[in-house]
Amino acid sequence: MSVAIVAALLAATVAARPQAADLDAGRLKAERCASCHGAGGNATIAGTPSLAGQSAWFTHWALIKFRDGRRKDPRMSPFAAGLSDADIADLAAYYATLAPRPRPQSVDAAKAAAGQRLAVSHHCTSCHRPDLSGQDQVPRLAGQDLEYLLRQLHAYRAGTAGDLEGLMTMAARPLSHADIENLAHYMAGLTPVP
């Protein structure tokens, strides 16, 4: 069914020529993003992720998934639909150069302590690194927005997050609501490191 929809929406597109990212162009293009994702990529609106210091590969993949419909969000999907390959490359490269800052949010210490143990027993640290700073296509979780982390973990568990290879869906499936709550408080409470 989804194939039929995609095919119906899709007049075949000619793939754009690949090209290297342009940081200056990324800075200009990101002005449109700042009203939600914050100046300098550090968002303050609850539910909106910070992008500063995320690896370029992660942001790039996220925008591709929004654009081709594998990941859906009422605000991001229409925005991403209009991005060219060059826009995506420029934005991803630009956000990777920015310094992440702590978010104005407070976390529950008991939940965070439980979440710290879950992050090890559920192997979050084996891809996201021990300090949850992320790498390559794997996002930084440390210091990310609490509400966003909760929403994404629930979406992965429900299989609606647009998982690349299914790894996060498998990781999230065994999590209870309480586990997700605890993990999100732990991740949100960490100091973001680039």
Q: What does the binding site for another protein look like in residue numbers (CB under 8 A)?
A: 2-4, 6-8, 10-20, 56-57, 60-61, 64, 68-70, 85, 88-89, 92, 114, 117-118, 121-123, 126-127, 135-138, 164-167, 170-171, 174
| 11 vs 82, beta carbon nearer another protein | 11
**Coil, helix or strand for 135?**
strand
CA dist 56 and 22 (Å) reads 12
Closest CA to 55 of 132, 168, 152: 132
CA dist 143 and 186 (Å) reads 9
For residue 73, the number of C-alpha atoms closer than 13 Å in the C-beta half-sphere is: 19
| 39 vs 83, beta carbon nearer another protein | 83
| 43 vs 119, beta carbon nearer another protein | 119
CB of 185 to another protein, least distance (A): 15
| 65 vs 103, beta carbon nearer another protein | 65
CB of 102 to another protein, least distance (A): 27
CA 95 to chain centre: 12
